[in-house]
C-alpha cells in the first residue's frame, strides 16, 4: 500500500495543522503575555541645534517623567554645527524636553546608569570614573558624592591600575545604583573596574560589600557572588531582595541585603554559550504594579528585551532585533518602566538614542 497522501488527505492534514496552530495561538494570547509597540514620536526634537551623544542610561520618576543620561560625545561633524546637550535631560511622558542639568566637568566621566529615589532625588554613576552622584530632582543641587572623581580603587589610584575591590571610600567604574526606600542605604554595582556590590548609608558612609571576579569553574557551578565580568546593574525588589546583573555570566544573581546568595535567574537566548565577551544580562527593572509582576531585562548581546515572571524567573515573552530602524536595537544597554507599563530603552555606543515602547496589552 502506498504511504503517499491523496489530495483530500493532504487537505485534511493541513486543516488539522491549522486548527492545532490556531489553538496554540489562542492559548498563547490567553496567557496574558504583554505586548509592546514602538512610539515613533518619542522623544520630540530637541530645541535649537542641541544634540546628545551616547545614551548612557535612562530612568523614570513617580510622575512618569523620563531622565536620559547623555555622555555628550558628539561626532566630529556634529561639533561643527551642534550645541552639546547637558549630561542629564528630563522629558515628560510625551517626549517633550522639560529640563536639563549638570555639566561635563561636574558629572561623572562617561555617565552610566541612573535612578530616581522615593524622594525624587536623581542618582547617576560613571563607568569611566569613580563616583556616584545624588542630585535634587531639578538638578539645582548636588546633594551627595560617593567616591572621589578621577581617583580609583586600584593599585595605582588610576583607571589603568589593577582593581583592588576593597576600598571603603573609593569606587572603580560604577555602573548602577539602588536605594533602599526604608532606610536610604545605597547599593552600588561597582562595576566595570571592581567586581562587587558596595553598600553605603544615606550619608555616604561605607557599610559592607560582597562579590569577586569569577572564573569558568564558578560560572559553570552558578556560584553566587562570583561575577564573570561587568557587575552591570543592581535593583531592589518589593521584598527587599537585591538583584544583580552578572552581565558576562548570562544571569541575574539574587541576594538578601547582607549579600547572602539566594538564586540565579539565567538569561537565555540560544547564544549565551557563544565564546564572546558580551553576555546576555545587561539591565533589569521591575514593572511598577504593586506586585512587580514582570522583570524586564535588556540583552545587548542579542539586541532583545526579555520579559520574565518576577516570581518564577521564567521568560514570558521577548521583543527586539538588531538593526538601526525604529523599534530595532543597536547596543540595547539600559531601560526603565513607567507606571503605565511603557518601556524606555537607552542605546549607547553607536546606537546613540532612546526609544519608547508602549504597552498595548
Amino acid 149: pLDDT: 96
* Lowest-pLDDT range of 8-22, 64-78, 205-219, 234-248: 8-22
Q: Domain extents for the chain?
A: 1-30, 35-359
53/351 Cα distance (integer angstroms): 10
* Lowest-pLDDT range of 220-224, 227-231, 275-279: 275-279
Residue 274: pLDDT band (50, 70, 90) is low
Amino acid 19: pLDDT: 34
Percent of the chain with pLDDT over 70: 90
Secondary structure letter of residue 247 according to DSSP: G
In the chain, which ranges are continuous DSSP H helix? 7-30, 76-81, 216-221
CB 260 within 8 A of CB 251: no
**Residues in CB range of 32: below 8 A, 6 or more apart:** none
Q: Which CATH class is domain 35-359?
A: mainly beta
CA-wise closest residue to 193 among 236, 147, 237, 255:
147
Kindly state the average pLDDT of the residues 115-143: 97
135, pLDDT greater than 90: yes
28, pLDDT greater than 50: no
Top-confidence residue, 173 or 274: 173
Supply 136's cell numbers: 535634587
360/332 Cα distance (integer angstroms): 21
Write out pLDDT tens, residues 55-74. 999 999 999 999 999 999 99
Average pLDDT, the chain: 91
Supply 240's cell numbers: 527587599
Helix (H, G, I), strand (E, B) or coil at 78: helix
CB 79 within 8 A of CB 65: no
43, pLDDT greater than 70: yes
Amino acid at each position: 500500500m502506498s504511504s503517499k497522501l491523496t489530495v483530500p488527505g493532504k487537505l485534511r492534514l493541513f486543516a488539522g495543522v491549522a486548527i492545532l496552530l490556531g489553538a496554540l495561538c489562542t492559548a498563547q494570547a490567553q496567557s496574558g503575555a504583554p505586548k509592546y509597540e514602538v512610539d515613533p514620536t518619542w522623544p520630540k526634537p530637541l530645541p535649537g541645534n542641541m544634540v546628545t551623544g551616547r545614551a548612557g542610561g535612562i530612568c523614570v520618576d513617580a510622575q512618569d517623567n523620563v531622565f536620559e543620561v547623555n555622555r555628550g560625545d558628539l561626532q566630529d561633524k556634529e561639533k561643527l554645527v551642534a550645541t552639546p546637550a547637558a549630561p542629564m535631560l528630563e522629558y515628560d511622558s510625551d517626549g517633550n524636553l522639560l529640563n536639563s542639568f549638570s555639566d561635563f566637568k561636574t558629572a561623572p566621566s562617561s555617565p552610566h546608569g541612573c535612578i530616581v529615589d522615593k524622594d525624587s532625588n536623581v542618582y547617576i554613576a560613571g563607568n569611566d570614573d569613580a563616583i556616584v552622584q545624588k542630585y535634587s530632582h531639578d538638578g539645582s543641587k548636588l546633594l551627595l558624592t560617593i567616591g572621589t572623581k578621577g581617583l580609583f580603587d586600584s593599585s595605582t589610584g588610576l583607571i589603568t591600575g589593577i582593581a583592588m575591590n576593597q576600598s571603603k571610600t573609593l569606587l572603580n567604574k560604577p555602573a548602577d545604583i539602588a536605594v533602599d526606600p526604608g532606610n536610604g542605604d545605597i547599593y552600588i554595582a561597582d562595576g566595570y573596574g571592581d567586581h562587587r556590590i558596595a553598600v553605603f548609608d544615606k550619608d555616604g558612609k561605607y557599610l559592607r560589600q560582597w562579590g569577586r571576579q569569577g572564573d569558568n569553574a564558578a560560572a559553570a557551578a552558578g556560584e553566587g557572588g562570583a561575577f564573570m565580568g561587568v557587575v552591570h546593574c543592581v535593583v531592589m525588589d518589593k521584598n527587599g531582595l537585591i538583584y544583580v546583573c552578572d552581565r558576562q555570566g548570562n544571569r541575574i544573581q539574587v541576594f538578601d541585603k547582607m549579600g547572602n546568595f539566594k538564586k540565579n535567574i539565567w538569561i537565555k537566548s540560544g547564544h549565551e554559550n557563544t565564546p564572546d565577551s558580551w553576555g546576555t544580562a545587561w539591565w533589569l527593572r521591575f514593572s511598577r504594579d504593586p506586585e512587580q509582576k514582570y522583570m524586564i531585562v535588556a540583552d545587548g548581546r542579542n539586541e532583545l528585551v526579555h520579559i520574565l515572571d518576577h516570581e518564577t524567573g521564567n521568560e514570558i515573552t521577548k521583543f527586539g532585533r538588531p538593526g538601526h530602524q525604529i523599534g530595532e536595537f543597536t547596543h540595547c544597554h539600559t531601560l526603565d518602566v513607567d507606571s503605565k507599563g511603557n518601556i524606555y530603552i537607552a542605546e549607547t555606543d553607536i546606537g546613540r538614542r532612546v526609544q519608547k515602547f508602549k504597552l498595548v496589552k
